[in-house]
Amino acid sequence: MNLHEFQAKQLFRAAGIPVPKGEVVDTPSGAVDAARRLGGQQWMVKAQVHAGARTEAGGIRDFNDLEKLHCFAQEMLGERLITAENSPAGQPVNQLLIERPCGVKNCYHLSVMLDPRSGQVVFQGGLSECRDSAELSDQSPGNFFQVEVDPVVGLQPFQSRQLAVELRLDRTIWPPFFEITQALYRLFIAKDLLLIEIGSLVENDHGQMMVLDVRVQVDNNALVRQPELAQWADYRQDENQVLGNGLGFIAMEGDIGCIVNGSGLALATLDIIQLNGGSVANIVEIDNGASTDALANACQLVWDNGRCSCILINIVGGIVRCDKVAAGIIDGIQKYNITCPIVVRMEGTRAEEAKALFIQSDEKIEIVKTLDDAIILLIDTPES
């Protein structure tokens, strides 16, 4: 799960990592009020979306005129920002972060992430391009280097020194840098983060270190033990998310709706349909955690008010039991009055019981043995 920049900075502030003074707002007049409260003659206005490359997309600007700032806020709020990193539809801007700018003397890049293969926490650093807008860009220059931290022993002081030397930091700013790296490591562990990506860790004109831009990702699997972060989820930002109730959703542009168990089988189903000339409207991926209600809901999601012309249910049960899935789906068909043709292919755990349920249900459902058979029913192949 991604956090917004303002949320990440809130975590940083609480952890003692210096960030610019700022306020988050959701109305144009609120933006002006915030700028007045922050004081000074110049303000950064930053659109809050879960994507990078916002500067190039016009989502981050600085103003020295409150009227222009108001106009920009009015344009931005409620619009969708399309950047090089998100989908063609962009993401909705519902909040703006207003900040005081700070003079930049030197600028660095610093990330903390997990290396799944070695089981280590990795600090990666490099010199960054110095820009006023100071936001992460993929084209950041400089060589990257990394320090690997064993999570069993934690970040050691010598590792912070290695980072400081590699970044060629002035010795006068070593002490605040050491504090920042230790605080980052503690935050990374305490909050179950998968990624902290600081695009601009800067040394300002007063010789202080400060984080101007940061991206933070939280482990979805850990949200149950991070309730305060779970509240920060912004589902309007990320399409095709795992919905968290045992269902995952992938929206496509075609006309065949699919209900499948497991992400691998979902991708395979997509491949088979598309290689045979069909097109997929959407895929709902179910797992063992899906309740009967969630399964009924899955039917409504794929049906999408009639946008799909037929539905393929492709379940190969293992830990997922086919009969439980069948019961939920029959429920959904009746509850949401789904009228399009439905083709069912079920194999594995309790598949026979499931097929019996479909036959008893009186719903018009075609049960097939193999995926090839399903394809023949779903796709009208042109006469050759």
Helical H segments across the chain, by residue range: 5-14, 28-38, 66-76, 157-166, 174-190, 227-230, 263-275, 292-303, 322-335, 351-360, 371-378
Q: Are 140 and 166 in contact (CB under 8 A)?
A: no
Identity of the residue numbered 2:
N
Please provide the size of the chain in residues: 384
Taking the least distance from each CB to another protein, the nearer of 142 and 254 is: 254
Minimal distance, residue 29 CB to another protein, in Å:
35
In terms of CB distance, is 168 or 275 closer to another protein?
Answer: 275
34: three-class secondary structure by DSSP = helix
Neighbours of 305 (CB within 10 A): 7
CB of 69 to another protein, least distance (A): 33
Q: The tokens of 122 are what?
A: 């990795």
Q: Which is nearer to another protein, 169 or 260 (CB)?
A: 260
Three-state DSSP class for 223? Answer: helix
Structure tokens at 83: 């950047």
Judged by CB, which is closer to another protein: 23, or 192? 192
In the DSSP assignment, the letter for residue 319 is S
Smallest gap from residue 46 Cβ to another protein (A): 23
> 227 and 134 in contact (C-beta within 8 Å)?
no
- At closest approach, how far in Å is the CB of 220 from another protein? 8
Euclidean distance between CA atoms 156 and 152, whole angstroms:
11
Q: Which residues of the chain form contacts with another protein (CB under 8 A)?
A: 87, 114-116, 118-121, 150-152, 189, 192, 194, 219, 221-222, 224-225, 238-242, 248-250, 252, 260-268, 270-272, 274-275, 283, 285, 287-288, 315-320, 347-349, 351, 370-372
- Starting at the edge strand found earlier in the chain, the sheet holding 342-348 runs 247-251, 280-286, 256-261, 310-317, 342-348, 365-368
Comparing CB distances to another protein, the nearer of 22 and 262 is 262
Looking at the Cβ atoms of 111 and 133, the one nearer to another protein is: 111
Residue type, 133: S
Closest contact distance (angstroms) between CB of 239 and another protein is 7
Instruction: Provide the pairing of β-strand 365-368 with 342-348.
Output: parallel
CA angle 301, 302, 304 (to 5 degrees): 70
Closer residue to another protein, CB minimum distance, 35 or 316 = 316
Shorter beta-carbon distance to another protein: residue 176 or 348: 348
Q: What is the DSSP letter of 237?
A: T
Q: Please, what is the minimum distance in Å from the beta carbon of residue 137 to another protein?
A: 18
- Token digits of residue 87: 């989908």
Q: How far is the CB of 114 from another protein (least distance, A)?
A: 5
Rg (CA), the chain: 26
Contact 52, 135 (CB under 8 A): yes
CB nearer to another protein: give 94 or 288.
288
Q: At closest approach, how far in Å is the CB of 152 from another protein? A: 5
Which one, 40 or 277, has the nearer CB to another protein?
Answer: 277
Least gap, CB of 89 to another protein (angstroms): 11
The terminus-to-terminus CA distance of the chain in angstroms comes to: 48
Q: Cα(84)–Cα(55) distance, rounded to whole angstroms?
A: 10
Q: Residue 247 CB, nearest distance to another protein (Å)?
A: 10
